Amino acid sequence: MPSMFVADFHTHYACPAYSALPPHQAAPELARRWGVLARRIADLDGLLAEAGRRGVDLRVLSAPPALLTPHGERTHPDDMRRLNDHLAEAVATAPQRLRGLATIDAFAGDRAAEEAVRAIRELGLSGLVVDCATDGQLLGAAQARPTLTVAAELGVPVFAHPISPAAMTLAFAGLGRFGTSLARGTMNAAALLSLLADGVLAELPGLHVVFPMLGVAGLSLAAATDEGQRITAAAPASQRAHVYLDTMGFVPAAIRFATDLLGADHVLVGGDWPIGARETSRERVETALTQAGLDEAERRLVAGANALRLVDARCVPARNSSSVITR
């Protein structure tokens, strides 16, 4: 039987002209490591070399706005364009091994949606990465709807990346790195729930949105409600909303929970490279998925087939589409 295809959906890379910034009010442990991490985020050759050593077939590259924009500021449209232009060039250097998610400030309304269209149609990028929230808005907000609509119509995934909310990270500072993760995960869970509560998932059945395992609490809360059943594998195919989780952390019990709830076709390998404590390797992926009790077909889906399906699923929308695509 052919070897398992391994794709890491959660890999950070950014144009070297932009310094990667640590999470707002990051725990001291992370702050001390950040200089090294920032250099690795800008090192494409090192990323590819490491992926080869670790047996990772495909890396999906992303740089969420909060990784490159100081806290409290908005990513300037010109910077988004430069970042996405560079990312497309980077992916073109190794098209069999890389895909790219365009950096988009989803809360910038139609202007952000227009850049999303350009990044997908003109640059050939495979999806979008957005901040899951700002300090005052969640992803279900009206300002983010144009970007989400474009993604649904173009058939590309949206990676809803965590942010560090100011008040929450300060309140949890005494927990160290756990506090940073808890604050970010709480905001990520809230963003997931906002898509359900604000009707986005019902309004945009073609939306495919990926959350890291940090936001798993939102999934658990949603699934416990009647309206939240639409995000689970138990939903009728015609009503199912396409919410995905990446494995961030490689904990077999967490992977089992995610696959039981969402289905093995809606879970992806993600290592949060190079920030995550457990980096993605073929051995780690195979071990975690086996210990999670997944069968051969399920392991292949989670290991890489799901990610490949998402990032290679671009489509051309109908000419009578009502979004900014046709403006």
| Confidence label for 317 from pLDDT (cuts 50, 70 and 90) | very low
How confident is the model at residue 321, as a pLDDT? Answer: 44
CA angle 182, 184, 187 (to 5 degrees): 105
Distances (CA, A) of 325 to 77, 100, 106, 267, 281: 17, 20, 15, 29, 38
For 169-199, the pLDDT digits (tens) are: 999 999 999 999 999 999 999 999 999 999 9
For 208-262, the pLDDT digits (tens) are: 999 999 999 999 999 999 889 999 999 999 999 999 999 998 999 999 999 999 9
| Confidence label for 315 from pLDDT (cuts 50, 70 and 90) | low
Collapsing DSSP states into helix, strand and coil, what is residue 58? strand
What is the rounded CA–CA span in Å between residue 161 and residue 141?
A: 16
How confident is the model at residue 249, as a pLDDT? Answer: 83
For 49-104, the pLDDT digits (tens) are: 999 999 999 999 999 999 999 988 889 999 999 999 999 999 999 999 999 999 99
Window from 3-12, 153-162, 223-232 with minimum mean pLDDT? 223-232
